[in-house]
């Protein structure tokens, strides 16, 4: 982009590109913070979905995660093998009822602390002012209106 006098002007800012760039930075920071817990962002998301929707089926989890049922089966099998979730399926062929275990709940609590640390670094009082504005806008967009 050039100005009327032929000098370079400011670049055009695409919200999509800015948010994608920020999202990649956030994901990198979160994965680094979660690594010591043997979690990734996607694994944390699945664990949180299971905790938030006790008895969720594989299909429910796939819809919530934006992934395939086959991918969820693989991930849940790994989480179950680690003792973080259990599948309360009564018998083969029946719908699954997946739930978090006490160990999974403890890990989720530790992960929430790690996420809070990343939130503070990227969006807290010492963060870049523009990133703080983004965080404020996100929080405002998801605030619930006061109940009468």
- Answer whether residue 92 is part of any domain: yes
Where are the alpha helices (H) located in 6-83, listed in sequence order? 15-34, 41-52, 58-65, 69-81
- Answer whether residue 108 is part of any domain: yes
CATH code for the domain of 21: 1.10.10.10
- Answer whether residue 1 is part of any domain: no
Q: What is the predicted pLDDT for the residue at 10? A: 66
Rounded distance, CA 61 to CA 99, Å? 11
- Answer whether residue 55 is part of any domain: yes
Rounded distance, CA 117 to CA 32, Å? 11
Pick 93 or 127 by higher pLDDT: 127
Q: How confident is the model at residue 43 (pLDDT cuts 50, 70, 90)?
A: very high
Closest by CA to 47, choosing from 92, 83, 91, is: 83
Q: What is the predicted pLDDT for the residue at 54? A: 82
pLDDT of 148 over the 70 cut: no
pLDDT tens digit sequence for 64-91: 999 999 999 999 999 999 999 998 775 5
Q: What is the predicted pLDDT for the residue at 14? A: 87
Pick 145 or 3 by higher pLDDT: 145
- Answer whether residue 21 is part of any domain: yes
Rounded distance, CA 65 to CA 49, Å? 8
pLDDT of 137 over the 80 cut: yes
- Answer whether residue 56 is part of any domain: yes
Rounded distance, CA 111 to CA 84, Å? 13
Q: Which range of residues forms the domain containing residue 131?
A: 15-142
**Rounded to 5 degrees, what are φ and ψ at 127?**
-80, 170
Tokens representing 74?
A: 């693989």
How many separate domains does the chain show? 1
- Answer whether residue 106 is part of any domain: yes
- Answer whether residue 9 is part of any domain: no
């Amino acid at each position: 982009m050039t100005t009327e006098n032929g000098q370079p002007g400011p670049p055009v800012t695409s919200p999509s590109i800015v948010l994608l760039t920020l999202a990649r930075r956030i994901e990198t920071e979160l994965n680094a913070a979660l690594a010591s817990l043997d979690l990734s962002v996607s694994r944390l998301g699945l664990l949180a979905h299971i905790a938030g929707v006790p008895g969720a089926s594989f299909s429910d989890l796939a819809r919530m995660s934006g992934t395939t049922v086959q991918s969820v089966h693989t991930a849940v099998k790994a989480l179950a093998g680690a003792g973080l979730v259990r599948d309360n399926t009564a018998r083969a062929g029946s719908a699954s009822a997946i739930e978090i275990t006490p160990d999974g709940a403890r890990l989720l609590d530790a992960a929430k602390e790690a996420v809070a640390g990343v939130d503070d670094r990227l969006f807290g009082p010492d963060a870049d002012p523009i990133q703080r504005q983004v965080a404020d806008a996100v929080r405002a967009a998801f605030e619930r209106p006061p109940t009468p």
